[in-house]
Amino acid sequence: MSPLTRRAALFGACACCALATRRAVAASDFVEIAPGMVFRRGVDEQASVANADAIANTGFIVGAESVAVIDPGGSLADGQALRAAIAARTTRPVRFVVLSHVHPDHIFGAAAFTEGAPKIVGHARLPAALATRGEYYRRHLAELLGAEAAGPVVTPNLLVADTHTLDLGDRRLTLRAHRPAHTDTDLTLFDERTGTLIAADLLFIGRVPSFDGDLKGWLAELDALAAIRAARVVPGHGPVTTDWPAAAADLRRYLSLLLTETRAAIAAGVPIEQAATRVAASERGRWALFDDYNPRNVLTAYHQLEWE
Amino acid sequence: MIPRRDLPLLLLGGALVAARPAWADDDEDKRAARWKEVREAIFGDRAIGDGTSVVGLDAPPRAEDAALVPVALLVKDPARVSGVYLVIDGNPGPLAAHVHFGALADPRRLTLRVRVDQYTDMHAVAETRDGALLAVSHFIKAAGGCSTPMGSQLDASLADAGFMRLRLIGPVAPGQPVQALLMVRHPNFNGMQMDPVTRNYTPARFIQTVDIGFEGQPVLRLDSDISLASDPAIGFGFTPPKAGKLTVAVRDSSGAAWHEAFDVAPLS
All CATH 3.60.15.10 domain ranges of chain A, comma separated, are 29-244
Distance of CA B74 to the CA centre of its chain: 13
Kindly report the backbone phi and psi dihedral angles of residue A175, in degrees, each rounded to the nearest multiple of 5, phi listed first.
-100, 145
ipTM of the complex: 0.86
B231 contacts A303? CB cut-off 8 A: yes
CATH for A29-244 is: 3.60.15.10
Count CA within 13 A, CB hemisphere, residue B101: 28
Q: How many CB atoms lie within 10 A of CB A2?
A: 11
With an 8 Å Cβ cutoff, are B4 and A271 in contact? Answer: no
Judged against a pLDDT cut of 60, whether residue A228 lies above it is answered with yes
Give contacts of B147 with chain A, Cβ < 8 Å. Answer: 136
Residue A143: CB atoms within 10 Å: 20
Which of A25-34, A186-195, B137-146: highest mean pLDDT?
A186-195
Alpha carbon of A290 to those of A54, A120, A297: distances in Å? Answer: 19, 32, 10
Give the separation between CA A194 and CA B268, rounded to whole angstroms: 66
Q: What radius of gyration do chain A's Cα atoms show?
A: 19
With an 8 Å Cβ cutoff, is A105 touching chain B? Answer: yes
A124-138, A219-233, A246-260, A272-286: least confident range = A124-138
pLDDT at A118: 98
* DSSP codes joined into one string, B161-217: TT-EEEEEES---TTS-EEEEEEE----B-S--EETTTTEEPPPB-EEEEEEEETTE
Number of domains in chain B: 1
A152-191 residues touching B, CB cutoff 8 A: 153, 155, 180, 182-184
Distance CA B48, CA B123 (A): 11
Question: Do residues A160 and A120 lie in contact, with contact meaning Cβ atoms separated by under 8 Å?
Answer: no
Q: Considering only the beta carbons, identify the residue of A49, A137, A155 that sits closest to B4.
A: A49
- When CB atoms are compared, the residue of A48, A210, A307 closest to B15 is A210
Look at residue A35 in the predicted model and tell me its pLDDT: 98
Contact B178, B170 (CB under 8 A): yes
For residue A245, is the peptide bond before it cis, meaning its omega torsion is within 30 degrees of 0?
yes
**For A123-158, how does the pLDDT look when each residue is reduced to its tens digit (9 = 90+)?**
999 998 898 888 889 999 999 999 999 999 999 999
CB distance B152–A103 less than 8 Å? no
The answer to whether residue B159 is domain-embedded is: yes
pLDDT level of residue A164 (50, 70, 90 thresholds): very high
- Residues B130, B82: Cα–Cα separation, whole Å: 9
Q: Do the strands B120-128 and B105-114 form a parallel or antiparallel pair, or are they unpaired?
A: unpaired
pLDDT-above-70 percentage for chain A: 91
Q: What is the DSSP letter of B14?
A: T
The predicted structure's pLDDT at residue B1: 31
Contacts of A105 in chain B (CB under 8 A): 15
- Beta carbons within 8 Å of B52's beta carbon, 6+ residues apart: B136
Is residue A131 less than 8 Å (CB to CB) from chain B? yes
**pLDDT digit of tens for each residue in chain B (268 aa)?**
333 232 222 333 333 333 334 344 568 889 999 999 999 999 999 999 999 999 999 999 999 999 999 999 999 999 999 999 999 999 999 999 999 999 999 999 999 999 999 999 999 999 999 999 999 999 999 988 887 777 667 778 888 999 999 999 989 999 999 999 999 999 998 887 655 456 577 788 899 999 999 999 999 999 998 999 999 999 999 999 999 999 999 999 999 999 999 999 876 5
Chain A environment of B70 (Cβ under 8 Å): 271-273, 276
Chain A contact set for B60 (CB, 8 A)? 273
* Residue A262, helix vs strand vs coil: helix
pLDDT of residue B186: 94
B113 located within any domain = yes
State the distance between the two ends of chain A, measured CA to CA, in whole angstroms.
54
pLDDT at position B9, please?
Answer: 29
Q: What's phi and psi for A35, nearest 5 deg?
A: -55, 120
Measured CA to CA, the distance from residue A87 to residue A84 in angstroms comes to: 5
Q: Residue B154: helix, strand or coil by DSSP?
A: helix
Residue type, B40: E
Q: What's the pLDDT at B199?
A: 56
* B247: CATH: 2.60.40.2470
Residue type, B19: A
Residue B118, domain extent? 9-264
**Is residue B100 included in any domain, yes or no?**
yes
B152, A184: Cβ pair inside 8 Å?
A: yes
**pLDDT of amino acid A182:** 97
Residue B192, pLDDT score: 77
Chain A interface test: which of B16, B111, B113 (most A C-beta within 10 Å): B16
Q: In the Cβ-directed half-sphere of A202, how many Cα atoms lie within 13 Å? A: 30
Instruction: Flag whether residue A272 sits within 8 Å of chain B, measured between CB atoms.
Output: yes
H-helix segments, B2-148: 28-43
Contact A214, A180 (CB under 8 A): yes
Domain-embedded: residue B121: yes
Distance between CA atoms of A150 and B23, rounded to whole angstroms?
19
A44 contacts chain B (CB < 8 A): no
Q: Which residues of A286-306 are buried (b: 16+ CB within 10 A; e: fewer)?
A: ebebbebbbbbbbbbbbbbbb
- Mean pLDDT, chain A, rounded, equals 92
Q: Does A146 touch chain B (CB under 8 A)?
A: no
Alpha-carbon distance A204 to A239, whole Å? 9
Put simply, the answer to whether A50 touches B2 (Cβ < 8 Å) is: yes
What are the Cα distances from residue B112, in Å, to B5, B96, B192?
32, 10, 20
The pLDDT value recorded for residue A25 is 62
